[in-house]
Amino acid sequence: MRGGAQLRALSSCTSHGPRCVRIRKGLSPAMIDVRMCDAADEKVAALLDDHRERARNEASQFRGNYSPNTESGARNAYVAVVGESAVGSLIVHLRGTDEWVIDHVHVIREARGIGIGDALMKRILSDASVNGVTRVSSVALPGDRSTKNLFERFGLIAEAIVVSKELRT
């Protein structure tokens, strides 16, 4: 999803104030606006599906194939915007009454390393706290250091090691 379609998708997202960070790739600061979106909106859903697919394609290069069971239930979708471009997204699903499970966090390659993932995490942790959520969890695959490091910067720590063996008969 590119250009105009991306902008139309963003029109149904809401902003709760700008998140400002300095971009180290360049001389001027940029605004990162993290918006909560209606994931049921067709245009937003297309953007989120695109980001989710990209995230899964990138994850396929790492060992393991574990992902949280997040296909059903309520979900919140967030999109990070710089200027007029959607540069990142994050989806959380509600598990039980007080846990959010991060389904995916994705930042487009051109916007990595400048605080987009951090802005997304700050926003969802803030919203989780306001909504009485007591736990936020996710999965980082072995070898995916950037995701692991992002989660650890925000206090998410490894609680289990999932092991498996492929059996071929």
Q: Which residue has the higher pLDDT, 20 or 62?
A: 62
Beta-ladder partners of 99: 95, 135
Q: Which residues contact 108 (CB under 8 A, 6 or more apart)?
A: 54, 87, 88
- Indicate the fold that domain 3-153 takes in CATH: Aminopeptidase (3.40.630)
How many whole angstroms separate alpha carbon 154 and alpha carbon 138? 12
Instruction: Read off the pLDDT of residues 45-58 as tens digits, 9 standing for 90 and up.
Output: 777 777 878 777 77
Q: Write down the pTM of the prediction.
A: 0.73
Cβ atoms 87, 116 nearer than 8 A: yes
Q: Which pLDDT does position 64 carry in this prediction?
A: 60
Domain ranges of the chain: 3-153
Instruction: Read off the pLDDT of residues 26-38 as tens digits, 9 standing for 90 and up.
Output: 323 358 889 898 7
Query: Residue 22: pLDDT band by 50, 70, 90 thresholds?
Result: very low
Instruction: Read off the pLDDT of residues 61-100 as tens digits, 9 standing for 90 and up.
Output: 666 655 555 555 678 899 998 887 888 999 999 888 899 9
DSSP state of 34: E
Q: Which pLDDT does position 60 carry in this prediction?
A: 67
